[in-house]
Each structure stands twice: as C-alpha cells, then as structure tokens.
Structure 1
Amino acid sequence: MNDAAPMDAALLATAEAFALPYYAEAHRAYHNAEHVRAVLHALDSRQVLTPVLALAVWGHDLIYDPRKHDNEQRSADVFDGWLTQQGAPADLGADIHALILATRHAEPATTRAEALLIDADLSILGADAEAFAAYDAAIRREYGHVPGLLYRVGRKKILRGFLERERIFTTPEFAGLEAQARVNLAGTIAKL
C-alpha cells in the first residue's frame, strides 16, 4: 500500500459524491451507502482507516447486480477509471483496484490493508443478533428474484463457507467479532 501518496479531504469528498448515486440504486437493500459508512466506521473505530482504505471502501460495491458474479471486478474498473479522471497516481489506482478485488472474499488477503478491508466488510457477520437479522433480511430482499428453495441452498453454501474457515476475521482488530459471527452464521444456517 502506498499511503504516502498525496491524498486530501477533497479527493475523499469527491469520491463520496461520485459513489453515492451508485449506492442509492433502488434494488440495494444492504449494499448501499449505509453499508459503506458502516465499513468506514468499522475501520475508523479501530484506528486503522487510511485514505487509501477509505477510497477503496467507497469503490468496493459501486456496481452491485445480484444476478451477476463480476461485481467487484466491474466496481474496480469503474472506480479505477474515475481515479484516472481525477489525476490520481497510477500506483494509487493499482492499490485501490487490488483492495476492491479482495472484497470478492474468494482468496486470503495478501496484504494487511486487504485483510483489514475484508474484515471490515465482513464485520456485519459479528454484529449483535438484531443487526445480523436485519442484514440477513436485506440480503434476501436483494435476491428476491431467486426462488425460495434455490436461495436457501445458495445462502447455506455461502454462510457455511465462512463458518468452515479456521478464522473468519484475520486481523487482531476484528478478532473480537469471531465468536458472535459463528453464533450468527450457525443460527441462520439452522433456520434455512
């Protein structure tokens, strides 16, 4: 990560203004601006939020179509194009691109910044039972086009994937969420 790149509040504010219309799309019940702000808060409250991470958070779910499987790639591409238009250095764009792709949750993080972003993005899994239930209901609304049986099968597979990991949260800053996340995931899988 190149946090030494010149960053200022203006670029972050411009990123927010650029991203907000994407996060306001009507089909988003969970992957919206509230989610982005929750991820920012999760990082900031642990005193690990950097300008690069903040930009990656704003870019990580720009494109969100529950019918597609390339949302992170498309989000990274759109945000990279926007950063280029803003005159951001190429290495900054590359760093943010890699961070956004890390939120696919398909592979282990390769940098501390990726690990922090992944953990912050998944922090809802370790939320209290009420917040987790609201998240789970919002995800179901986003996948309203999927018939019940198919949704339950797919959702179980995804949640089991997290539950079967040796550790869901890989950074010390988020390790305290592990036990509650396992309770939440196991409870939801049992209900599906």
Structure 2
Amino acid sequence: MTVRYEDFAALTQDSPTARTEWAAVVAAWAEPHRSYHDLAHLAAVLGLAGELAGHAADPTAVALAAWYHDVAYDPTASDNEEVSAQRAEVGLRGLVPDDRLAEVARLVRLTAGHDPADDDADGAVLCDADLAVLASPPAAYAAYASAVRAEYGHLDDATFTAGRTAVLESLLALPALFRTPTAQPWTAPARANLTAELELLRARAS
C-alpha cells in the first residue's frame, strides 16, 4: 500500500487545507532518523486498519488515528503518543467533526500502552494493526527488531537492552496481544517472536 493523498482526503475533505495537512504529515513520517516508524510502517498500519475495519465502530476515526499514531516520533522522548495526539487535534481541526476528532486523539493516545478496554472496538482495531508486525515470520521480525535498535542508536547496548526488555515484558504481560477476531491467529507467532527476542536480550545482559 502506498501513502496517497486521495486516501487521506477521503477521510476528511478534498481541500487546500487537507492537502497541506497531508503533506505535513507525510513529511513528518519521512524524517531521516526513522528506521522503523517510517512511511512503510504507516502504509502497513493503514492497510491493516482497512482489513480490520469491519470490527470497528468508526472505521474513519481508526484510519485517521493510523495516519497520526506516530506522526511525532523522537526516540529520546517519552511522550510521543501525547504529542502525536495533540498534532492530530491541531491538524484535523475543521477537517472532521469535533466528536470524531476527539475519538482520533483518544485512539492515538491509546497506542502508548496498546491495552484497549474489552468494549473498545476502535481501539482494538488500531492496536491490532499497529502490533501486527510482532507476528511476522522470524526473519521479518528480526529486521523489525534491528530497525528499532537503529532508532535508538544514541543509547549504549546496556541501556537499550534494559529498555527493550521492559517493553517486551510489558507486551507479553498484556491481557491479550490482539483483540479482534481476525487477528487472533497472530497471537502464537507474536508471542514466540517476543519470547525469542527477550531470551536473546537476557542472554546478552548476563
């Protein structure tokens, strides 16, 4: 899937304001420090959100949240989801109804922990689309993990290993990695990948 203005405009409206906003969003996702959280990841999440749209209460809000969920990505910061949500609140103002804008911002903030409530259909779709990479074949998962390490190149190995270990442990501790019925088959390969990476990191640390 490519990242097209036409897809963005279909969620908002075709206007000079929408085109300007789309260009700014794409430019943010194309920042050179992004090795994983880049335009390819955006395209993948948009595609998966579309595939899972039948499970969503507001597929348009989910798709817009996918556009913005990592629009702000600074590996040295701890508030990327909050900044991304605020970026959506500013950039989409006047392009979508206020209630949908509030839902988009809520969904973006939800990606900080990927733990939607049981009755949160929109949150389930967005989180499943964002975490789908965890269920990749082992070689593709290894490439993903390497790309994440590259984004944290400013950290020494010990610091990165501690932080990454905490992330993997938190993911494995979630009540469920995937929430939509369509994504349930992804659970076993994702848990296998996460466990294998965690074991490798623990071995290196020791």
Structure 2 length-normalised TM: 0.83
1:25 matched to which residue of 2?
Answer: 31
Q: Residue 12 of structure 2: SS of its match in structure 1?
A: helix
Contact kept in structure 1, 2:52 and 2:125, CA below 8 Å: no
Tell me whether 182-191 or 44-53 shows the greater mean CA deviation. Answer: 44-53
Contact kept in structure 2, 1:59 and 1:76, CA below 8 Å: yes
Contact kept in structure 2, 1:39 and 1:121, CA below 8 Å: yes
Q: Unpaired segments of 5 or more residues in structure 1?
A: 1-6
- Structure 1 residues 8, 19: closer, same or farther in 2, change over 3 A? closer
Q: Residue 35 of structure 2: SS of its match in structure 1?
A: coil
Q: Residue 183 of structure 1: SS of its match in structure 2?
A: helix
Q: CA deviation at 1:18?
A: 3.3
User: How do residues 41-120 of structure 1 correspond to structure 2 at under 5 angstroms?
Assistant: 41-48=47-54, 50-84=59-93, 86-105=94-113, 107-109=115-117, 111-120=120-129
Give the number of equivalent residue pairs. Answer: 185
Tell me whether 100-109 or 149-158 shows the greater mean CA deviation. Answer: 100-109
Structure 1 length-normalised TM: 0.88
- Structure 1 residues 106, 54: closer, same or farther in 2, change over 3 A? closer
CA RMSD of aligned residues (A): 2.0
Q: Residue 104 of structure 1: SS of its match in structure 2?
A: coil
Q: Unpaired segments of 5 or more residues in structure 2?
A: 1-7, 202-206
1:38 matched to which residue of 2?
Answer: 44
Q: CA deviation at 1:147?
A: 0.7
Contact kept in structure 2, 1:115 and 1:170, CA below 8 Å: yes
Q: CA deviation at 1:90?
A: 1.1
Which residue identity does 1:167 align to in structure 2?
Answer: A
Residue among 170, 185, 188 paired with 1:179: 188
- Structure 1 residues 83, 47: closer, same or farther in 2, change over 3 A? closer
Tell me whether 37-46 or 128-137 shows the greater mean CA deviation. Answer: 37-46
